[in-house]
Structure 1
Amino acid sequence: MKLFKAGAAAAVSVVLALTATACGGSSDKASDGGAKKDKVVIGIKFDQPGVGLKTPDGKFTGFDVDVATYVAKELGYTPEQIEFKQAISAERENLISNGDVKFVVASYSINDKRKEKVDFAGPYFLAHQDLLVRSDDNSITKPEDLNSKKLCSVTGSTSAQNIKTKLAPEADLKQSAGYSECLTGLESKSMDALTTDNSILAGYAAQEKNKGKFKLVGLNLSNENYGIGLKKGDKELQTKINAALKKMVADGAWEAAVKKNFGPADYKNEPAPQITEGS
């Protein structure tokens, strides 16, 4: 009888332990503030050189990765405790709402439509929408030139909607799952231009395999304030992330990350923006 009770108690302990760690985001080994946390799941892009990229050897690089790692450190996590999860543009809100990630750092522009579903911390970076074209193509110098061109962007991105609704409604717009597909189309001449944030485009143009193939047109078609997406109503996490971002700017880590990730493309970044979300 005692053995049965002991076995049942052990089974209950296993179930409770599994329940505690099954939820998305993270789990704590203890409830007190000094407890070491097991892991944190963070959504990033996997296919944006200079911003968020998963390399063939399984490592993660880019400005967003550096920001996410710094924020996680301020929340009590070591780099080894971070699990990066792919967050494609069209799935970012779902990942947050479903609890699959703790937060998302994925070139995630803050806008009112998205704020209906999730909250943001930040912004932590200001980018501008631009166009990437082949280096020998001088036919696109202004937004209106896109009306007779084949344009590629990513499903769910603000860039695609900005072009189609405001800047060039007659453009032949193709929306792909990722920017890599757009870049392939641009190189093969099945596409004439790729549009997204200039930070992302600079990352692609700076890649060793792409040097000399592409160029940025140099148009500031919009202001894109990158924010860190988190579950709606989580004011405590929002406050902690905002504090981490302010510290990153103050101690020079933000500027160092910008230079490391965008410097090779001779990218002229804007200064760190003021934190507005949650204030």
Structure 2
Amino acid sequence: MVEVRARRTAAAAAALTMLGPAAACGLADAGETSVATKDRLVIGVNADQPGVGEREGDGPYKGFDIDVAKAIAGRLGVAGKNVAFKRVYSATREKMLQEGEVDLVVASYSVTPERKVKVAFAGPYYVAHQDVLVRASDAGKIRSIHDLKGRRLCKVRGSVSFPRIHDEQGVAALPVEEDGYSACLTDLVENRLDAVSTDDLILAGLAGKAAANGRKLTIVNASFTDEPYGVGIRRSDVDGCEAVNKAITGLYQDGTMPQLLKRWFGNTGLKLTTTVPQFEGCV
């Protein structure tokens, strides 16, 4: 990657000489804003999703998405202390990308047509599936999303999970609003709501954390959507998007991605996919 970056720098310098000062400024600006050429990256991640993206207190970020973010950055030629993480919420991801607070977002960020109007997506790096998490004692009562009618369902601000059940599927669940899924987990185990519905990787992490604290939760195993996890990137950064796609492909080809999936979710009982997903395209 260092050689590629050196060749790009040399080619850009030659182009600037030929095109003159006015054009040079524009090309220089474009090069500086692309994640394909940056020497430091700030990556937006979640901090409240056990197994996916979590941070306890002032400790390090950890989880599947964190490892994926580090691996992608490494393939872009950025590693170690030059990779910084910044917490994002479902409701802030687009704004933080648009305003340059983060260079990339790797945060269980499902690709949707509505989001693609505001930002671009590399990948997806994985395709999860929306399912339902309930208390084990309620597993016989809630077997599909249709059993959520009239029941209290967590609604994370900025997430598409609740609208997919309530609006798209027409299930009249009762919303309990929270900022993140750790709060949903607390509400579920303390009987302030009846179910949490979101991507199965997130649910598996929540169930695992509850089990470690002596609380038994059950995934209904009634998935009803595909949730392609994309790497959020500014819409103008086509070169960066293509570079990230190349990085993701490499992570599958060399076995890194299957290893990360096994590390974080191998004991959850989820059926994991270890082949490269079909990419969205960068234009």
TM range (shorter): 0.7 to 0.9
After superposing the two structures, state which structure 1 stretch, 265-274 or 68-77, moved more.
265-274
1:17 maps to which residue? none
Partner of residue 201, structure 2: 199
Is residue 266 of structure 1 aligned with residue 269 of structure 2? yes
Change (3 A) 1:178 1:200: same
1:260–1:254 Cα change, 3 Å: same
Tell me the residue number matched to 1:229: 232
Task: Tell me the amino acid that sits aligned with residue 135 of structure 1.
Answer: A
Offset of residue 158 of structure 1:
1.3
Matched residues in 1 for 2:175 and 2:158: separation? 13
Mapped to 2, the partners of 1:126 and 1:71 lie a distance apart of: 17
Amino acid at match of 2:240: L
Q: 2:148 is matched with which residue?
A: 146
Q: In the alignment, residue 68 of structure 1 is paired with which amino acid?
A: A
Q: Cα deviations across residues 95-134 of structure 1 (Å, max 9, x unaligned)?
A: 1000000110000000110000000000110101011000
**1:78 to partner: Cα distance:** 1.3
Aligned equivalent of 2:83: 82
Q: How does 1:13-162 map to 2 (within 5 A)?
A: 37=39, 39-56=40-57, 58-137=59-138, 138-162=140-164
Assess if the C-alpha contact under 8 Å between 1:123 and 1:226 holds in 2.
yes
The structure having more radius of gyration, on CA atoms, is 1
Question: What is the distance in 2 between the residues matched to 1:57 and 1:44?
Answer: 15
Alignment of 1:212-227 (within 5 A): 212-227=215-230
Residue 3 of structure 2 corresponds to which residue in structure 1?
none
What's 1:244 paired with? 247
The answer for the alignment partner of 2:4 in structure 1 is none
Aligned-pair CA distance for 1:264: 2.8
Aligned equivalent of 2:187: 185
Q: Superposition RMSD on alpha carbons, in Å?
A: 1.9
- Residues in 1 aligned to 2:136 and 2:259: alpha-carbon distance in whole angstroms: 29
Larger mean Cα displacement after TM superposition, 200-209 or 263-272: 263-272
Q: How many residues align?
A: 247
Deviation per CA, 1:200-230, whole angstroms, max 9, x where unpaired? 0001111253455111000112110000000
**Cα contact 1:64–1:105 (8 A) shared by 2:** yes
CA-CA distance at 1:271 after TM superposition: 3.4
Distance 1:264 1:166 in 2: 32
Q: Percent same amino acid at aligned positions?
A: 39
Shift of 1:54: 1.1
Q: CA separation in 2, counterparts of 1:275 and 1:104? A: 16
Distance 1:263 1:203, change over 3 A: same
What TM-score, normalized to structure 2? 0.83
Match of 1:275 among 266, 276, 279: 279
Q: Give the superposition deviation at 1:182.
A: 1.0
In the superposition, the TM-score normalised over structure 1's length comes to 0.84
Q: Secondary structure at the match of 1:248?
A: helix
Which ranges in structure 2 are unaligned for 5 or more consecutive residues?
Answer: 1-31
- Which residue number in structure 2 is paired with residue 5 of structure 1? none
Moved more, 187-196 or 206-215: 206-215
The answer to whether the 8 Å contact 1:110/1:227 transfers is yes
Q: 8 Å contact 1:55–1:61 — kept in the other structure? A: no
SS at match of 2:74: helix
* Structure 1: segments with no counterpart, 5+ residues: 1-26
1:49 CA displacement:
0.9
Q: Is the 8 A contact 1:153 1:179 kept in 2?
A: no
